[in-house]
C-alpha cells in the first residue's frame, strides 16, 4: 500500500488496523503488527498482508443492489 505523509515529522508504524470496503460495503477487518518508518514529507509504502474470505467478497460483488440495471 502506498501512502503520503505531508507532515514535517516522520513516524514509526507498529500496527495497522484497517476496515476493507468494496462498493461501500465492509468486507473484512485487518489488524497487522509490523515495523515501518514513515519519512517526513514523502511517499512511503507499507507491506500489507491480508486474507479475504471469497464468500464475503462474492456476497458484496453479487448483492442485489449491484445487479439492478
Range of the domain at 45: 2-67
The end-to-end CA distance of the chain, in Å, is 33
Domain count, the chain: 1
Provide the 3-class DSSP secondary structure of residue 59: helix
Span 3-16, pLDDT tens digits: 899 999 999 999 98
Span 3-62, pLDDT tens digits: 899 999 999 999 989 898 888 888 888 899 989 899 999 999 888 887 777 777 777 777
β-strand pairing of 11-22 with 25-38: antiparallel
Provide the 3-class DSSP secondary structure of residue 8: coil
Please state whether the predicted TM-score (pTM) of the whole model is above 0.75: no
pLDDT at 52: 75
| Burial class of 41 by CB neighbour count within 10 A (0 to 12, 13 to 18, 19+) | exposed
Task: Give the Cα separation of 39 and 51 in Å (integer).
Answer: 28
Amino acid at each position: 500500500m502506498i501512502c503520503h505523509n505531508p507532515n514535517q515529522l516522520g513516524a514509526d508504524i507498529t500496527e495497522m488496523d484497517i476496515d476493507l470496503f468494496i462498493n461501500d460495503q465492509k468486507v473484512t477487518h485487518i489488524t497487522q503488527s509490523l515495523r515501518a518508518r514513515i519519512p517526513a514529507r514523502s511517499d512511503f509504502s507499507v507491506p500489507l498482508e491480508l486474507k479475504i474470505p471469497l464468500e464475503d467478497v462474492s456476497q458484496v460483488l453479487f448483492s442485489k443492489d449491484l445487479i439492478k440495471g
